[in-house]
């Protein structure tokens, strides 16, 4: 990373693992779980959040000296809401079926705690470039978990990835299905999202003992 100093690259890399917004900071779970039954919406969601966080952090960081601290939450909400409206309108224009599928969860990016959390914790006290990196880093950390969960739920639940039948055809019994493999329909249902995230936390914390809670 020649472009970034060591301190700056830490801003991006930290949220990917040891300070992950979902598994460690417990922020932004709400939307993370509901849309991960398939890989495609997960990726769209990750990109939308990245846009909102990157731009939002920059805007808040630019305005940090003129926002009165008493009304900062409302100011932050207005900034996020505006950005989310942009995302929503773009999705409606270019990917209508996907925007129908994500339904209210695009709107719920507004109340995604990661965004407000990073505004409060970082953008209000740091410069523009560092805030931008922090926003992108946290959105990446969020996106990684979304994509892992989406990957496993789609693969095990419907045997597809991005809608392609990677494990063979369950009706015509080709590929893995020929030797008796069956899809686990349970993975597609909402509760499994929680359990998959629980398992990711388990794996992560057994690899890094420092993260274990008492």
Q: Using CB under 8 A, list all residues that contact another protein.
A: 23, 26-34, 73-74, 77-78, 81-82, 84-85, 88-89, 103-104, 107-108, 110-113, 116, 170, 182-186, 189-195, 197-199, 201-206, 209, 211-214
- The least distance separating another protein from the CB of residue 20, rounded to whole angstroms, comes to 11
Name the token pair of 176. 């893995």
**Alpha-carbon span 188 to 190, nearest angstrom:** 7
DSSP class of 16: G
Residue number, 29 or 49, with CB nearest to another protein: 29
- The least distance separating another protein from the CB of residue 7, rounded to whole angstroms, comes to 28
Residue number, 14 or 88, with CB nearest to another protein: 88
Residue 27: half-sphere exposure toward Cβ, Cα within 13 Å: 24
Residue 144: half-sphere exposure toward Cβ, Cα within 13 Å: 18
- The least distance separating another protein from the CB of residue 148, rounded to whole angstroms, comes to 14
- The least distance separating another protein from the CB of residue 129, rounded to whole angstroms, comes to 26
Name the token pair of 88. 């929503």
Residue number, 47 or 78, with CB nearest to another protein: 78
- The least distance separating another protein from the CB of residue 69, rounded to whole angstroms, comes to 12
Nearest Cα residue to 135 out of 200, 23, 60: 60
Residue number, 28 or 137, with CB nearest to another protein: 28
Residue 42: half-sphere exposure toward Cβ, Cα within 13 Å: 26
Residue number, 16 or 156, with CB nearest to another protein: 156
**Is the CB of residue 193 less than 8 Å from the CB of residue 36?**
yes
């Amino acid at each position: 990373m020649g472009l970034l100093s060591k301190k700056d690259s830490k801003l991006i890399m930290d949220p990917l693992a040891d300070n992950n917004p979902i598994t460690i900071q417990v922020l932004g779970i709400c939307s993370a779980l509901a849309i991960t039954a398939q890989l495609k919406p997960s990726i769209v969601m990750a990109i939308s959040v990245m846009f909102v966080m990157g731009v939002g952090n920059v805007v808040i960081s630019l305005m940090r000296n003129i926002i009165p601290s008493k009304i900062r939450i409302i100011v932050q909400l207005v900034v996020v809401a505006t950005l989310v409206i942009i995302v929503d309108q773009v999705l409606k224009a270019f990917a209508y079926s996907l925007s129908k599928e994500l339904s209210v969860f695009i709107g719920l990016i507004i109340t995604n705690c990661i965004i407000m959390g990073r505004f409060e914790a970082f953008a209000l006290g740091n410069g523009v470039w560092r805030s931008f990196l922090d926003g992108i880093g946290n959105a990446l950390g969020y996106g990684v978990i979304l994509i892992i969960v989406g990957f496993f739920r789609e693969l095990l639940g419907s045997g597809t990835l991005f809608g392609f039948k990677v494990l063979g055809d369950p009706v015509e019994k080709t590929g893995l299905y020929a030797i008796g493999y069956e899809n686990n329909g349970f993975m597609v249902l909402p509760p499994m999202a929680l359990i998959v995230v629980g398992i990711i936390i388990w794996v992560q914390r057994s690899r890094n003992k420092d993260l274990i809670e008492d």
